[in-house]
Structures are given as structure tokens and as C-alpha cells.
Amino acid sequence: MNAVINKDRLWESLMQLAEIGATPKGGVCRISLSDEDRRARDLFCTWARDAGCDIRIDAIGNIFARRPGNDAAAAPVVTGSHIDSQPLGGKFDGAYGVMAGLEVVRALNDAGIETAAPLEIVDWTDEEGARFAAGCIGSGVFSGHRDLNDALSLSDAEGTTVADALREIGYAGDIAPGSIPFKAYFEAHIEQGPVLEAAGLPIGTVIGAQGQRCFMVTLTGVDGHAGTLPMAKRQDTFVGTAKITVALSELAATYDPPAVITVGHVRVSPNSRNTIPGRTVFTIDSRHPDTDVLQRMEADITRICTDIAKADGLELQMDAVTRAEPVAFDPGCVDAVRTACRERQIRFMDIHSGAGHDACKIAAVAPTGMIFVPCEDGISHNELESARAEDLATGAQVLLDAMVKVAG
């Protein structure tokens, strides 16, 4: 029994999916719960049904596509990722994990192989956090990290809630999130960093991921005339935001690598050339593999925001939108990935994830592992993100072998 991944079919599916929300420089814009996300979800559902899967949608919009096993009572072995993207994202971040799952099912169908436990492919809702700031909303609710009603009431910059957006695209399902127990969860993903490429290795067996603290910050000052108000009298929230941004960048440098802090989203109001910005909303994303360090970083970030706001006469509101602890993946799942590599004589290395993933949430409720493949120059969250068809197929083959071994 040998089910073999079809490299060209996997590549073709990724390229077809990437046509939905395609951007001029070869990336995708498939913001969570947008019309592009809906079209990509519809296509995935069509392909999964054509491959013999049953589709179910839960109340936070996660899509589950099940390939039945011959033991109907067994918990499924699950794989997946996300098909939403950054505003200027790449073709592979997330999409690869979902398409790799689909290719696993197609390859098993071709080989006429039935597993004991069912296999399941998931598209998790809003992994990226580009629209509702939080990120990993679907997997977070599924795993109990986030309350369903809180998640449904999160709103985007226009005031549209997750609940409204789910209804609008027709993906507000009826099954309760978390009601499907998993035998195991494996997620394939591009590395999004330079390590595997530099090592010349096609596979990273992911042993864990760093933690995050993310904040939504609002500075309130006073709108004013750009031509008449003397500099000394201004309460300019964009100047305050700029000072905080520079101070946080300097703060990150005082910690040892891999400490990172990013101000990635800024909304200036009223955003007019000749009005002093009286209100600015921005995000802070901080990460480190060690919880104690994360806590110290959070205290430093809070102090910096408080001090600068006070000195500039600005009102500060700071909400933690994500507090995710560092994750260690399940030794059994990590080993299943290593064994799959060894059995096909595929070279691999253990690796840590700098990015957050749905797998980091699912690790709390099911034995979980991840498979990384290299991406060109380590570039991700960028339209130019690229990966080799060969490596993507190798990752999917390792995924297939690990899933089949665990499913029996």
C-alpha cells in the first residue's frame, strides 16, 4: 500500500485557489470573511465533496471536510490550516495546509486506501487576524481559548461583527465548536522564515512555537488646525504613536533575539492633511518563546505607552487582544512526522515556529504536530512569498504518511 502525492495536482490546486483575490505582484488578498474568502471556501468545499468528503460548518465558520474511515466510531485524524490571508499576503501561507490536506485525500482515493479512523480537513476561520485584530479566531474558539459569543461580537474597523460577516458570506454553521474530538491534528505550513532553506532541508519537524502578547491601543488627543495651532499646544496622537513605535523598536533590541515587537496597523483620524490627528488606533504584536520574558516585555510595553501618552497629554486605552503562551507540540505527533521522513529517506530537522498557527491552539485539546517546508528567502506576509512545488509535495507526502499511520 503506497499512496503517493501528486505534485502537479497539488500545485495546480494552489494556483487555482490563488486566482481568488489575486494581487498584481503575484500574491493574494483574501481577508477573513470577505467575498474572496467566501469564494475560496466555496471552491474548497466543492473540491472536498468531489473527493468524497462530507462537509460540516460550525458556529464560528470553521469548515470540516470528512473522509469516512471504516471505523465510524473512531475520532478523526485531522489536518488543515486557513485560506484567509494578509491584505498583501502570499499564495501559500495557510492555503498550503488546506490544499495539502485535500491532496492527501485525493492521493488516498487514487490508491484505493481506506483508513480505520476518518480523516478530516479543516479550514479554520480567520487565522490571520488582519481584519478583526485577534487572529486564530476559529481554532481559538474550537479549543476553548476564546468564548464563542465574544468572538462573534468582535468587530472590524467598519464596525461589522464576526457574526454579521459570517451570515453575510453564508458560513454561520450550526454545529457547536469543539464538539468534534480529534484523535490527532497535523498542520502543514511553509516555514515563513529562512532556516530550512539555509540548511538545505525539505522538512522541518516543528517541536513548538513562541508565545505572543498583542494589544489594540487607542490614543485620544484633540483635533486641531494644522496651520494655526502652535506646536507647543498640540495633543497630536500620531506623533504619540510614532514615539511609542520607535521606543518599542528600541525596547525589542534590548532583549535577546528572538524577541520581536511590531506596530503593524495604524488608523489615524480624521486622516486629513491639514487636521492634527486627534485619535489614533494602532496594534502592538510582541513575541518570545519564554513566558517570563513575554511577561516582562508586556510590563515594559505598558510602561512605555503610559509614559509617552502622559508626557504628550494623550488619553491611553490599551486592550490585550491576544495572550498566547508558548506551545510544545505532542512528542508522539512530532515523532510520527520524524518517522514518516525517515521511512522515505527525507532529510529533516527539528525547528521552532516564530509564527502563530491554528495548531498552537489545537495543541491544547488534541495531540498536535506540524510540518514545515521551506519558502524562498524566508519571505512571508508578502505578495512575493514563494515555495517550490517539489518541497510542497514532499511536505504533503510526510503529512499523508503521518496521518495514515495514526489513523490506522
Interacting residue ranges for ligand GLV, rule: CB under 6 A: 128, 135, 355-356
Residue 134 contact, options ligand GLV, Mn ion, none, Cβ 5-8 Å cut-off depending on partner type: none
Residue 248 grid coordinates: 518599542
Pairing of strands 184-190, 77-81: parallel
Cα dihedral 334, 338, 343, 349 in deg (nearest 10): 160
Contact status: 395 vs Mn ion (CB under 5 A): no
Residues 6+ positions from 159 with CB-CB distance below 8 Å: none
Q: How far is the CB of 155 from ligand GLV (least distance, A)?
A: 20
Rounded Cα gap, residues 402 and 193, in angstroms? 24
Residue 90 contact, options ligand GLV, Mn ion, none, Cβ 5-8 Å cut-off depending on partner type: none
Q: How far is the CB of 252 from ligand GLV (least distance, A)?
A: 16
Nearer to ligand GLV, 210 or 397 (CB): 210
Q: How far is the CB of 286 from ligand GLV (least distance, A)?
A: 11
Scored b (16 or more CB within 10 A) or e, 99-108 reads: bbbbbbbbbb
Rounded Cα gap, residues 299 and 302, in angstroms? 5
Show contacts with Mn ion in window 89-118 (CB under 5 A). Answer: 93-94
Residue 358 contact, options ligand GLV, Mn ion, none, Cβ 5-8 Å cut-off depending on partner type: none
Nearer to Mn ion, 93 or 126 (CB): 93
Residue 379 grid coordinates: 519571505
Nearer to ligand GLV, 47 or 185 (CB): 185
Residues 6+ positions from 307 with CB-CB distance below 8 Å: none
Q: How far is the CB of 18 from ligand GLV (least distance, A)?
A: 17
Q: How far is the CB of 358 from ligand GLV (least distance, A)?
A: 9
Q: Give phi and psi for 42, each to the nearest 5.
A: -60, -45
Rounded Cα gap, residues 254 and 242, in angstroms? 19
For residues 50 to 89, the per-residue mask of contacts with Mn ion, x marking binding by CB under 5 A and - elsewhere, is ----------------------------------------
Nearer to ligand GLV, 69 or 356 (CB): 356
Nearer to ligand GLV, 53 or 355 (CB): 355
Contact status: 191 vs Mn ion (CB under 5 A): no
Residues in the chain: 408
Nearer to ligand GLV, 63 or 355 (CB): 355
In angstroms, the Cα distances linking 102 to 49, 106, 222, 289 are: 10, 6, 53, 32
Residues 6+ positions from 345 with CB-CB distance below 8 Å: none
State the residues that interact with Mn ion by CB under 5 A.
93-94
